[in-house]
């Protein structure tokens, strides 16, 4: 199965930018879609955005639309989450995931360990 690991998290000020990376390794036997999720303390894991393997079409949650951008480099097997105009509400552990896709965590079968993003206010 595919293995995922996130990187690029850290501390950033309100209004700043940060780019997260999700590197994939291992074997994949069929096309898969990539998603980004986040979980703040005491809250559920929420959908951030996703990118389709076949078309590179992206879908975003309303809370991040216009501020976050997902892209990927298939040759490097890496998916990116560019985060701009960060708000304190964006503070969370960010996870990348691979699977069938969709806006629900149930649509993804493989997850990375997560990376912390803290936006200071």
Q: How far apart are CA 78 and CA 6, in angstroms?
A: 10
**CB neighbours of residue 112 within 10 Å:** 21
Phi, psi (deg, nearest 5) at residue 59: -130, 140
Beta bridge partners of 82: 19, 69
Quote the percentage of the chain above a pLDDT of 70.
Answer: 98
pLDDT in tens, 10-60: 999 999 999 999 999 987 756 689 999 999 999 999 999 999 988 889 999
């Amino acid at each position: 199965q595919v293995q995922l690991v996130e990187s690029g998290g850290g501390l950033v000020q309100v209004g700043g930018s940060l780019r997260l990376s999700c590197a994939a390794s291992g074997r994949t036997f069929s096309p898969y879609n990539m998603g980004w999720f986040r979980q703040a303390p005491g809250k559920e894991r929420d959908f951030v955005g996703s990118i389709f393997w076949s078309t590179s079409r992206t879908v975003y949650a309303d809370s991040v639309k216009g501020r976050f951008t997902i892209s990927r480099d298939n040759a490097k097997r890496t998916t990116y989450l560019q985060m701009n105009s960060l708000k304190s509400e964006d503070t969370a552990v960010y996870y990348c995931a691979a699977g069938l896709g969709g806006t629900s965590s149930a649509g993804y079968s493989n997850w990375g360990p997560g990376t912390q993003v803290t936006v200071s206010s």
